[in-house]
Amino acid sequence: MPSLHPRRLVAFICQGAFAAGALSLAACSPTLPAAAAGAAPLVVPAGYRLAWADEFERDGLPDPAKWAYDTGMNKAGWHNRELQYYSGPRAENARVQGGRLVITARKESLSSAPDWGGQRYTSTRLITQGKGEWTYGFFEVRAKLPCGKGTWPAIWMLNSDVIWPAGGELDIMEHIGRDPGRVFSSVHTAAGHGANPAGGGRQVPDVCTAFHDYQMHWTADTVRFGIDGVVHFEYRNPRTGPERWPFDKPQFLILNIAVGGDLGGAVDDAVFPVHMEVEHVRVYRKAP
């Protein structure tokens, strides 16, 4: 499988301050229209039906009919100066057990792997590329996140065919372990990406001890992001062309835990192994 498009955090002054914990995401992001207080709840819209799902009902490795593994940058090193090696099918890094997908990042070196790039940590980057790709819909992932300095779990989407950032990126959920409880969502386009995405988030104190629904409703007009039905960011189609709105083509889902890097920051080895547990992934589409 070819490697995915870069998801780089360009080395701007703002990015360096954010990575060091000196600035918030909001301070590094351009001001764009956001959901107003009292916005409509983020729920499956009327007239939508379930189009794709994984409820993780069968123990073992993730379902190969639904998930592939992105390992394409292991030898060269991953974007954003991240420190992990992403494994292929390997229960130590991704397994289904007791009705949950468990993605695990570990402190270990797989030096015997032919594509090992010297990494001291392992993890998994699961993708639906070639198995499930969608334009528009309501997306929901119910998950419990890892915590600890250096952890960087994410639930996000990319375009398969158009090089990043022109193809756009939709970050349903990101969390930085050194700032437990701060969850954010971002939109990357050619006009704003890397260290300068459009984004917003909120504090959810128990994200590492309890499950929450991370949600996105993507239409031709807006992309709305929320947690447990509460919107925290909305990006509107400015109708000025693909530079600011590339979101009219299919994207695929990604679940991963990155380690360190420009945004993950300094790593505390004492926290490993860490887990992201997922109870379901659901995609709803507007009924024809």
Question: Which residues lie closer than 8 Å to 152 by C-beta, 6 or more apart?
Answer: 82, 174, 175, 176, 177, 257, 258, 259, 260, 261, 263, 264
Cα-based angle 97, 282, 244 (whole degrees, multiple of 5): 130
Residue 22: per-residue pLDDT? 33
Residue 151, both tokens = 């952890």
pLDDT tens-digit readout, 101-144: 999 999 999 999 999 999 999 999 999 999 999 999 999 999 99
| Both structure tokens of 120 | 């001291």
Catalytic residue at 174? yes
Measured distance CA(177)–CA(208) in Å, rounded: 9
Which amino acid appears at position 170 of this protein? L
**What are the angstrom distances between the C-alpha of 244 and each of 7, 168, 198, 271, 273?**
17, 9, 10, 39, 39
**Tell me, what's the pLDDT at 38?**
56
pTM of structure: 0.88
* Structure token digits, residue 263: 């945004």
Q: Which residues of the chain have pLDDT under 50?
A: 1-37
All domains of the chain in start order, with CATH: 13-286 (2.60.120.200)
Q: Which residues contact 175 (CB under 8 A, 6 or more apart)?
A: 145, 151, 152, 153, 154, 182, 183, 184, 207
Collapsing DSSP to helix, strand or coil, 209 comes out as coil
Give the pLDDT confidence score for residue 194 in this predicted structure. Answer: 83
Give the side-chain half-sphere CA count within 13 A for 130. Answer: 10
Residue in 82, 133, 169, 234 annotated catalytic = 169
pLDDT score, position 14: 33
